[in-house]
């Protein structure tokens, strides 16, 4: 998890468990491809532990591990 993601998680009142559940329960909404680096990043939407909604932006890092770039809680009226 990047420092930015950790800060955003705290600002939105999310826990690491919310991010984990959102990632594991989520669906990929969008794949973005960076032409310069050749990397792809993914925007996922899933559920928090309490049943709220969270979006996670992540990529596969150079060591083949998932890197959480940013996270944010969604309000009840927010949609794709």
Identify which has the larger pLDDT, 75 or 65. 65
Q: Which two tokens stand for residue 60?
A: 């596969």
How long is the chain? Answer: 80
Q: What's the CA gap between 35 and 54, in Å, rounded?
A: 27
Reported as half-sphere exposure (CB side, CA atoms, 13 A), residue 46 has a value of: 21
Per-residue pLDDT averaged across 37-43, rounded? Answer: 91
Candidates 16, 24, 78, 28; CA nearest to 53 is: 78
Angle at 70 between CA 13 and CA 14, to 5 degrees: 15
Supply the pLDDT for residue 80. Answer: 52
Per residue in 7-33, pLDDT tens? 999 999 999 999 999 999 999 999 999
Supply the pLDDT for residue 38. Answer: 86
Taken in order 48, 31, 2, 68, is the CA torsion positive or negative? positive
Query: Residues of the chain with pLDDT > 90: what percent?
Result: 84
């Amino acid at each position: 998890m990047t420092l930015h993601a950790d800060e955003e998680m705290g600002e939105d009142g999310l826990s690491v468990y919310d991010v984990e559940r959102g990632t594991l329960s989520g669906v990929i909404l969008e794949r973005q491809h960076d032409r310069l680096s050749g990397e792809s990043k993914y925007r996922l939407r899933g559920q928090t532990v309490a049943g709220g909604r969270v979006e996670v932006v992540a990529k596969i890092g150079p060591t083949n591990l998932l890197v959480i770039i940013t996270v944010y809680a969604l309000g009840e009226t927010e949609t794709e």
